């Protein structure tokens, strides 16, 4: 089939571009929330890698050989988490568009705030784990110790012996 003499692809291309622009214009108002949540997820990911490096430096005999390195299955988990966050944010964004009079609260802000709070809490857990600073020892009273959760060791207790 000669593509230059055939014009079937022009309307298809026009419809695809129109659909893409429509989706983009619908998603664009929710983009700041998507970017903010992405930043917090990446911050948590970075702090988890830093925790792995700290563990490997302090207790190399107990740490995993690849501690502190990005692993493909963990990167897949980050991508899956981001996809779930994007799906929820876009769902509440479209609900906000479809029902502006019913919902008086900006649901995008509520969901983005919850996600950012959750990721920041995880970031604080990562920073306080296996850290000798005074603020970290105070924070560990309220935060989970990620070294014991992920590596099945508790370095902070081992250092006291």
Domain contains 67: yes
Q: At what angle do helices 107-128 and 31-58 cross, to 10 degrees?
A: 10
Report the pLDDT averaged over residues 26-30: 87
Q: What is the mean pLDDT of the chain?
A: 82
Three-state SS at 130: coil
- Number of domains the chain contains: 1
Is the residue at 11 inside a domain? no
Does a structural domain hold residue 141? yes
Instruction: Identify the domain containing residue 101 by its residue range.
Output: 31-160
State whether residue 104 is helix, strand or coil.
Answer: coil
Output the pLDDT for position 161. 39
Q: Residue 58 falls within a domain, yes or no?
A: yes
Retrieve residue 44's tokens: 């948590």
pLDDT at 56: 77
Residue 122 lies in a domain: yes
pLDDT (tens digit per residue) in 88-129 = 999 998 888 888 777 788 889 999 999 999 999 999 988 888
25 domain residue, yes or no: no
The answer to the question of residue 21 being in a domain is no
Contact in structure between 70 and 53 (CB atoms under 8 Å):
no
43-75: pLDDT as tens digits = 999 998 888 888 777 776 666 666 666 677 778
Instruction: Report if residue 150 sits inside a domain.
Output: yes
Q: Tokens 């619908």 belong to which residue? A: 26
52-84 burial, b at 16+ Cβ within 10 Å, e below that, comes to bebbbebbeebbeeebbeeeeeeeeeeeebbee
């Amino acid at each position: 089939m000669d593509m230059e003499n055939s014009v079937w692809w022009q309307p298809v291309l026009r419809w695809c571009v129109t659909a893409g622009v429509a989706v983009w214009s619908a998603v664009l108002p929710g983009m700041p929330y998507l970017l903010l949540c992405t930043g917090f997820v990446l911050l948590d990911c970075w702090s988890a890698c830093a925790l792995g490096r700290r563990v490997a430096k302090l207790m190399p005999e107990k740490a995993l050989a690849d501690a502190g390195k990005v692993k493909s299955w963990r990167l897949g988990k980050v991508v899956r988490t981001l996809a779930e966050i994007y799906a929820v944010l876009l769902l509440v964004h479209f609900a906000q568009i479809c029902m502006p009079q019913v919902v008086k609260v900006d649901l995008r802000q509520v969901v983005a705030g919850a996600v950012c709070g959750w990721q920041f809490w995880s970031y604080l857990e990562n920073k306080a784990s296996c850290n000798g600073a005074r603020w970290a020892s105070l924070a560990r009273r309220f935060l989970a110790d990620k070294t014991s959760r992920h590596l099945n060791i508790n370095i902070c207790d081992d250092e006291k012996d």
